[in-house]
Amino acid sequence: MAGAAAAAVASGISARPAAPRRAPAGCRARLPVVRAAISVEKGEKAYTVQKSEEIFNAAKELMPGGVNSPVRAFKSVGGQPIVFDSVKGSRMWDVDGNEYIDYVGSWGPGIIGHADDKVNAALIETLKKGTSFGAPCVLENVLAEMVISAVPSIEMVRFVNSGTEACMGALRLVRAYTGREKIIKFEGCYHGHADSFLVKAGSGVATLGLPDSPGVPKGATYETLTAPYNDAEAVKKLFEDNKGEIAAVFLEPVVGNAGFIPPQPGFLNALRDLTKQNGALLVFDEVMTGFRLAYGGAQEYFGITPDVTTMGKIIGGGLPVGAYGGRRDIMEMVAPAGPMYQAGTLSGNPLAMTAGIHTLKRLTEPGTYEYLDKITGDLVRGILDAGAKTGHEMCGGHIRGMFGIFFTGGPVHNFGDAKKSDTEKFGRFYRVMLEEGVYLAPSQFEAGFTSLAHTSQDIEKTIEAAEKVLKRI
In one-letter notation, the amino acid at residue 446 is E
Q: How far is CA 364 from CA 14, 112, 324, 378, in A?
A: 18, 11, 21, 23
DSSP string, 185-210: EETT----S-GGG-BS--THHHHTT-
Question: Using an 8 Å Cβ cutoff, are 247 and 181 in contact?
Answer: yes
DSSP string, 131-142: S--SS--HHHHH
Q: How far is CA 319 from CA 19, 110, 313, 420, in A?
A: 25, 10, 8, 35
Catalytic entry in 285, 307, 378, 458: 285
Sheet holding 448-449, edge to edge: 395-399, 402-406, 448-449
Neighbouring CB atoms inside 10 A of 63's CB total: 10
Active site residue 190: yes
Catalytic entry in 47, 100, 190, 439: 190
Q: How far is CA 392 from CA 90, 385, 421, in A?
A: 28, 10, 12
3-state helix, strand, coil in the chain (%, to 5): 40, 15, 45
Q: How far is CA 166 from CA 5, 73, 311, 347, 445, in A?
A: 26, 25, 7, 11, 22
Active site residue 285: yes
Instruction: For the chain, give the number of residues.
Output: 473
In one-letter notation, the amino acid at residue 292 is R
Active site residue 341: no
Catalytic entry in 185, 313, 374, 419: 313
Alpha helices in 128-256 (DSSP H): 138-150, 163-178, 204-207, 218-221, 232-241
Give the span between the Cα atoms of 209 and 188, in whole angstroms: 11
Q: What is the dihedral of CA 431, 201, 315, 273, to 10 degrees?
A: 130
SS3 at position 104: coil
Q: How far is CA 142 from CA 145, 151, 353, 357, in A?
A: 5, 15, 8, 7
Neighbouring CB atoms inside 10 A of 125's CB total: 10
Give the span between the Cα atoms of 346 and 172, in whole angstroms: 20
What are the catalytic residues? 190, 285, 313
